[in-house]
Structures are given as structure tokens and as C-alpha cells.
Structure 1
Amino acid sequence: MKKWNVEICDVTLRDGEQTPGVSFSAEEKCRIAGLLDSVGVDVIEAGFPVVSKNEAACVQKIVDLDLDARICCLSRALKDDIDCAIRCDIDMVSIFIATSDLHMKIKYKKPREEVLAGALEMIEYAHDHGLQVRFAAEDASRTDLAFLREMYAQGAEYGANYVSYADTVGCLTPLEMSRIVDDLLTDLSIPLCIHCHDDMGCATANTITAAERGAYQLHTTVNGIGERAGNASLEEVLTAIRFKGGVDRYDLSHLLTLSHAVSEASGIPISKTKAIVGEHAFAHESGIHIAALIEDSSTYEYIHPALVGGQRHYILGKHTGKKAIAHILRSMGHDISEAQICWILDQVKSRGENKCSITHDLLLSLIHQADSEVAQ
């Protein structure tokens, strides 16, 4: 397997906080930043400091944590924005302009050449003040590729260290992303960043596709939170680049703790079926599955739960088999007969078919009832 050449820029503290109704306190931001650093995330986008004095103070507090990760913040192509970023003592500034004809017409009301010229001046200004610069194209996925190539080339000439491609409205599919990255990388002299939104459910897939095709910096948020339907999910991207790209330098064992911390701080619950971190990500009910898992967990688990800080769970219900019941009961310390196991299994299936959850207390009750029921 050829190892992919990538790094992660997590944008939970900026784009993730743009989720409607979400606002992180300074303490929550610092805790999340610390956990991201424990995972080994390369770049943390700490915020958009020009938004408010409090936002700038939060960015400064994250810088003051002296993490291993480089700290980045967002900036429009305006001197006041960049001066605010400089005062926060960050490592990298992401200077963005909207690049599609639609956005140019509605937001700037200027020709693209004039918008680009102003942005290039700000790249040079930030570069001259010692910052790494990421030159970002907002709504890149609806922008003429020839203009993007020219924009990126000029950005590099003016001192940009990275250029960024944003699928701002989440309109791409993986095949489209593959073709676009191939096109952009044909004559690009600096690393390409990919920033995907999930409006069509393709953000993680598009990010992984871009990485496989040669994109370098991958943008993510924890639990995939963000504007509208959210962004590419950190936990999914990290797991995918481990298994598909051979990238093993990140400590995935912190992912569940990080996911819960962001869920608590954001107030957004994690779906039970969410990949990697959902309650059911490593839960099994099917009797056929559990019987095989008992022998060899790789039969029905591509990812070992412990790798990402999770645990395997066997769920009892209408699909449960006898081997699963016997295994669970013995793991609980109960040595019961074949007849008792069969009776309990019948009860579990009957209740499962009637949408009754088999709780720990209910299972204990069935175990106690099994003695008398089988004896009769």
C-alpha cells in the first residue's frame, strides 16, 4: 500500500461552531483543542478572530496552550482581519475569497480580476508578517477551473504556502472530486487543501477521494458538525486514511472521548448509527453475526473497537441466537443449562418482536424466572 501524504486541519472550533445554535465557551474550546492535539491533529483552526473581542480572546487562549498542533484562524482578504490574526500570534492564517461567478456578483459586485488583485496584496502582507498563508477559494466547486488554476498560481507567487478548495455547498460527488483534484494538481507548486460540506452526504467520501488523488491538507470537524448538514467527519476521515491510506501517526484511541466532548459542548447528540463513534457502531444483534464474532471478531468488524476508543456490545433482540445468549450469560457469571438458555432465548425473541428493549434488569429477571419455568 502506498502511504498517502496528508495532514489534518480540524475546523470544529470555527466551522463547527457555525452550526446553527452552537456556541462554545473559551473553556470548551480549550478542552476540545487539547483533545484534538492528543489525537495528533496537525492544524487546529481556532476561530475567526475579527468577529468579536471574545472570539479573538478565545483564539489567543488556544495559542497560549502551546500545543503541538499549529494554530490557524480564518480571515477575509482585508487588512483589519489579518491584523487581528497577527495580534493573536497564530501560526497560519486562512485568507479566503468567494470565487464563483454567482458569489462574485452577489457578494462583491466587482469583476473577478479586481477581487483577486486585492486578495493577493493581503497574502503578501500576511506572508511578510511571518504567517503561513492558506489561500482559500470559497464556492470553488462552482468556479471555473481555469480561473482557479490561475488564482492558485498567483497566490503561490505572492507567498501563499497552501491553496484551498472548498465544496462550500456540498454539490460534488467523489468521481467529480477525483477529476477536479487531478486537474488542479497538474501544475500546482504548493499543497492543495480540501474543505467539504455534507449537503448531499458526500463530505467524507469526497475528502477521502481527494486525499487518494493527492490533496494534502484535509479539513474536518468532530462528529461532522458545521453549517447546514455539516462537514467531513474527523473520526471517519482519520479511520479511513489509517485503513486505506496507511497513515498511522494519529492516536485514534481518543476519538470517542473527543466525540462526546464536542457533543456535550455543542448540544448536538450523536446518532446511534454514526460511524466510528455512534452507540451502535460496534453493537451486534444478529445471531449469525455474534456466533462468528465469538470465534473471530474480524468476521463482522473491519475496525477493532479499541482502536478508536470504543467497545463491542452484543444486543439482545428478535435476531439473537442461542450462542449469543449463552456467551452473554456466561460472561455475566451465570452457569445455566441448555434448557434454560432456550427458554430465555424464546423470551428475548418474543419481547424483541414487540419492540421491548432487553435491558440488563430485564435479562436478570428472565434468568431468575428460567429456573422455575424450566423446572415445570
Structure 2
Amino acid sequence: QLALLGVDVIEAGFPLSSPGDFEAVQRIARQVQGPMITALARAARPDIDAVWQAVREAPRSQIHMVLSVSDIHIERKLRSNRRDVLQRGTEAVAYARSLCNEVEYSPEDAGRADPEYLFETLEAVIDAGATVVNIPDTTGYTLPNEFGALIAAIRANVRNIDRAMISVHCHNDLGLSTANSIAAVLNGARRVECTINGIGERAGNASLEEVVMILRTRERSLRLRTGIDTTRLAEVSALVSRHTGVPVQPNKAVVGANAFAHASGIHQDGVLKDKLTYEIMRPEDVGMGESRIVLSPRSGRHAFQFRLAELGYHLPEAAFSRAWEQFLLLADRKKDILDKDLEDIVRSLQPAVAVGVV
């Protein structure tokens, strides 16, 4: 489904973590056509060997490795120092490049790293053979202006950056993963690592559907394009939700159940006159069917009349006013107003009025 969606790269797993993960990555590499297939390794030969053995049969393969770059990680997690970590990273990249023509290097926790050491690291790994440098905001700590400025600084200060693609990998701990990803793109990143529905470690990662629809909706001003088939977004979102058991929150941007549902009377009136008043993208463009008018105590007469007409009921003005009063009383007591509720309201008016049904 990701291949049909049109993604450029699929990171299929962490082959050394378990035999099952290795087998899954290998099957994906053998069977999925179109996207580049990559998998994750630490900067160690056993990890790199496992990735290579898993992805090598893909028509387009890549080895992706990660190693800390922030002092917090280097000192407190690795119990090491900058010099040794840099040497370990460059040696790992050189070894991976001896196996595979495409090598991605992620300096973990780049968002909290010393920029000068980050620049030094990127220069060294590119010289060692990295073809992609992936800048992670591992803890979701940076603000969009800070992360965008970091990408701009990398382009300005890493002398050999023209020999590698800049990728980004943003986490959502402060709810900024999508915003940070777009800020990075605006400053020269050309690959975004993201996930369907934003699933991922802790609070998750940048949401693919959000990143894609920002690029699509604001294409003229951003002057950037994506090849994703957006009409498949809702279908893939539902597939991931079913298989992971993680529900999509109703108010999730783009693919949530309420993304194109209108409950406020002011909004409903506008949408019924012209959808452009409150919709910046069409639900069918992301595979979500049609907009919905949700009846609630906040709904207006226009929306109530529209829904009755959809059900085939056309009431005279006096009868409609009585039906409207009954609806408001019911809506104050009941959260979800069903079609049966509306039908019961109309029936309660009979035989006092003649009801037109088509």
C-alpha cells in the first residue's frame, strides 16, 4: 500500500533486533516494487551486515545507520566522547558504503547538539561516503524557527553538503513534528521521514498525511511538489489503524472522522452555500468521501432543513418550525442525533400536517 501511495523510500524495520524483523525486511525487499527499501542499523558492523543481508535483493536499497551527536547522548548514554564517536561513525559509514551505494547517516538528537560538532560530523560522514544525512529532532524539543534555522545553517556551514541529500526525522513530543518538518523543507531539506497517522515512539512522528497535504494545499506558495497519490490516504490510514490497533482520533487532521464534519450552525450555513467557506481541501482528494453535516444543539435551521431534505422530507413553514423546536429539545438531551430521531420528529407532526416525501 505504501508503494501504491507513491512513497519514495520505505524504512522496513530493524533487522538485527529479531529474526522476525529480519525476515519481514527481507520479504519487503524482495516483493515490494518502486520505492527504495532501507532498514535501520546502529553504527556497528553486525547491525550493518544484518541490514545489508535483508535489503540487498531490493532493486533500490539503502543502509541507514544512527549514532548520537548531542553531548547528552554521547556522555550519558554512550559513556564516550566526541572524538571516539566521530571516528566510530565515519568508520561505520565507510564500511556500509563498501556494501551499498546508498548510505544514510542519522546524527541522533541533532536538535540538542552543539551545531559546530554537528557540522563537523556531517562533513566527516559525507567524506566517508554518506549519500543522505538525516537530521533528527529525536526528542521533539526544537521549535519550527529553530529547526528551520538549523537546516539552513547546515547548508551554509557544511562544505560538502552538496554531495548528500538532507533528510529530516521529527518527533511529536511538543506537537511540533509536522511544523518542524515543513520548516526544514522550506530551508532546503528534500526528504521527510514520517509515518501514517503519525504513529511512533512516545508521542509519535511527523504524520505523512499532514506533511503531504500541506505540500499539496500550499503548492503554489511553497513551489514544491509531492508525487503521493493523496486519494489513497484515508484507505492507508484505516489499514494502519486496523493492524496496529491504534485508533485514529476523530479530530485528526486530514484523515480523522471529523476532519470534514461540520457541527457549528455558522459553519454549516457557510458550507451549504459554498464548501470553500470552511474547507481548504476536498474530502474526496484524500479519499474521505463527502463532507458531513453533523446535527447538534449548535446546528442552525439551514442544516436541519438540509438534512430533512436529504431524508426526503419537505415540511411547510409552520410544521418545520414545530419540528425545529422538537429537534432543539432532543439535541440538548442526546449527543448523537440519528436519522431515526429525525424521522420520529416528522412522524410526531402527522397527521396534523401533510408531509412531502420524495
**TM-score, scaled to structure 2:** 0.91
- The aligned counterpart of 2:330 is 351
SS at the partner of 2:52? helix
Contact 1:139 1:168 in 2 (8 A): yes
- The aligned counterpart of 2:32 is 66
- The aligned counterpart of 1:146 is 116
- Of 286, 295, 303 in structure 2, the residue corresponding to residue 324 of structure 1 is 303
- The aligned counterpart of 2:52 is 86
For 2:198 and 2:299, locate their aligned partners in 1 and report how far apart those are by CA, in whole Å: 32
Contact 2:308 2:342 in 1 (8 A): no
Tell me the matched-pair count: 341
- The aligned counterpart of 1:296 is 274
For 2:321 and 2:264, locate their aligned partners in 1 and report how far apart those are by CA, in whole Å: 16
Q: 1:166 to 1:263 in 2, by over 3 A?
A: same
Aligned-residue CA RMSD (Å)? 1.5
Contact 1:85 1:93 in 2 (8 A): yes
Greater CA drift, 182-191 or 96-105: 182-191
For 2:330 and 2:126, locate their aligned partners in 1 and report how far apart those are by CA, in whole Å: 65
- Of 115, 125, 128 in structure 2, the residue corresponding to residue 158 of structure 1 is 128
For structure 1, list consecutive stretches of 5 or more residues without a partner in the other structure. Answer: 1-34
For structure 2, list consecutive stretches of 5 or more residues without a partner in the other structure. Answer: none
Larger-gyration structure (1/2): 2
- The aligned counterpart of 2:149 is 179
Q: 1:280 to 1:85 in 2, by over 3 A?
A: same
- Map residues 53-132 of structure 1 onto 2, 5 A cutoff: 53-88=19-54, 89=56, 90=58, 91-132=61-102
- The aligned counterpart of 1:44 is 10
Contact 1:285 1:319 in 2 (8 A): yes
SS at the partner of 2:209? helix
Structure 1 residue 298: deviation in Å?
0.5
For 2:352 and 2:80, locate their aligned partners in 1 and report how far apart those are by CA, in whole Å: 82
For 1:248 and 1:97, locate their aligned partners in 2 and report how far apart those are by CA, in whole Å: 29
- The aligned counterpart of 1:259 is 237
Structure 1 residue 371: deviation in Å?
2.7
Q: 1:331 to 1:248 in 2, by over 3 A?
A: farther
Contact 2:196 2:207 in 1 (8 A): yes
Greater CA drift, 80-89 or 322-331: 322-331
* Higher RCO (C-alpha 8 Å, min separation 6): 1
Structure 1 residue 364: deviation in Å?
2.0
Matched, 1:234 2:227: no
Please tell me the residue identity of whatever aligns with 2:145: L
SS at the partner of 1:194? strand
Contact 2:9 2:37 in 1 (8 A): yes
- The aligned counterpart of 1:339 is 318
For 2:350 and 2:105, locate their aligned partners in 1 and report how far apart those are by CA, in whole Å: 71
**TM-score, scaled to structure 1:** 0.87
Please tell me the residue identity of whatever aligns with 2:328: K
Matched, 1:284 2:262: yes
Identity %: 34
Q: Which runs of 4+ in 1 moved over 6 A?
A: none
- The aligned counterpart of 1:214 is 188
Please tell me the residue identity of whatever aligns with 1:192: I
